A and B are shown apart, each in its own frame.
Chain A
Amino acid sequence: MSEDFQSQTSQPKYIDPLEELRKSVAVMVFQVVSASSLGAQRGFLRETGESDTRTIELISDSSTKARQITPEIQARLDAMLHAACQQVIEDGKGNAITDQLAELFVKDYNAIVPVLITLIEHGRTLPVIKAEILKELGRIRDVSSHSSRRWILEHALSTSSPFVRDGAGLGLARLGDPAALKYLEKAVQDEPNVEIRSDLQSVVQELKQAVR
């Protein structure tokens, strides 16, 4: 039901990789990662160039280090999601995600990033849970995983669910990284929903004020 809802509430914002290639002034990096929670294989095509050197680092980092999530972390991630599904997720209230995600993520972010991307893009997890994950990714204070988290959040700005796009904006607001501004501004331009667009615009303004 919720997946139907997602697909009908907004237009999917598919980014054509070939179009991206034409626009790119630098490198395209192809990364195949294992998306362990669904047992699927996924490929990620990522434009890099201009100020995107940190993205290159992230991808090369991910491609050379551990790609398989350990059974222990997978079990804890599954338990966290299961617990969150049983809870009422409300702003300002703790839940399994706010309690556990940071520790799990920092423990082995190279392995968790592809799992979270798959979950956010394709998982059958409720949008409210996905949004909570994105919000929490912005809250984690860990320099080594900063680029990875920013990348996930930027990526989630173009998902089909308005709830999830909203969560991505909130996560980026918390992350407070002005490097996300160009993605947020693009998201504002592309956002079909008036309410979400307005809230994303507020995030842009807040980040710009923080820069001044």
Chain B
Amino acid sequence: MGLLLRIITKPKWLKPDWMDPEEVPADALTDLRSSQNELSVWSVERDKSNLDTVLVAVGSNRERLDKLDYALFDEDILPAIQIKCTKSEGETPHVIANKVMHRDLVELTAQKVAHLARALMPPTEHVRVSERSLQRLLQNALRDGSLDRSRVVVSMLEKLEH
């Protein structure tokens, strides 16, 4: 089992002083909004060799260039909180990442999402990719043909190519 990446907004996970150490800020749950009781995540190798590919997939699927915050957690934690992870096709402009690296956490309940939120709190790694770094990654991916240009939002494509 490898690592799983979930897009978050880092400041939402900051713990206020009044909060008990074991608690999770309620605002963090907005980063775990499920659809059809499922959450989209990405599979990352333990050596992070495919991390940039995943970041390109996620970053290219947006409307605008922006920084990208993510949490990287061990897939091994899922059985303990009774969350199932299944392989499914992603819908980003990165065709290979869609087929190989996309996963869904399925059959979620409110309680399971709360357990997941607790598992995603530090010391789980929360990382920020700056807008400029992401722009470089996306520009390289466009140049080497990793991205299906027809799936990239036009305004984003223009920004990346100028």
Contacts and interface: CB of A to CB of B under 8 A. Distances in A.
A90 interface: yes
Interface residues of A, number: 27
Contact of A206 (B16, B65, B126, B132): B132
Interface stretch (A19-27, A59-67, A111-119, A162-170): A162-170
Interface stretch (A33-41, A46-54, A146-154, A193-201): A193-201
Interface stretch (A70-78, A79-87, A92-100, A179-187): A92-100
Nearest to A209: B132
Interface in B47-97: 59, 62-69
Nearest to B13: A195
A189 interface: no
A193 B18 contact: no
A8 B18 contact: yes
Contacts of B124: none
A91 interface: yes
Given A91-B67, A92-B66, A93-B64, A9 B131 contact: no
A173 interface: yes
A94 B17 contact: no
A14 interface: no
A173 B131 contact: yes
B11 interface: yes
B63 A93 contact: yes
Nearest to B9: A91
30 contacts: A8-B17, A9-B14, A9-B16, A90-B9, A91-B67, A91-B68, A91-B69, A92-B59, A92-B62, A92-B64, A92-B65, A92-B68, A94-B64, A128-B12, A131-B11, A163-B12, A163-B14, A166-B10, A170-B67, A170-B131, A173-B130, A173-B131, A173-B132, A174-B131, A195-B14, A195-B126, A196-B14, A199-B128, A202-B128, A206-B130
Q: Top 6 nearest A-B pairs by Cβ distance? A: A92-B62, A9-B16, A92-B66, A163-B11, A91-B66, A94-B63
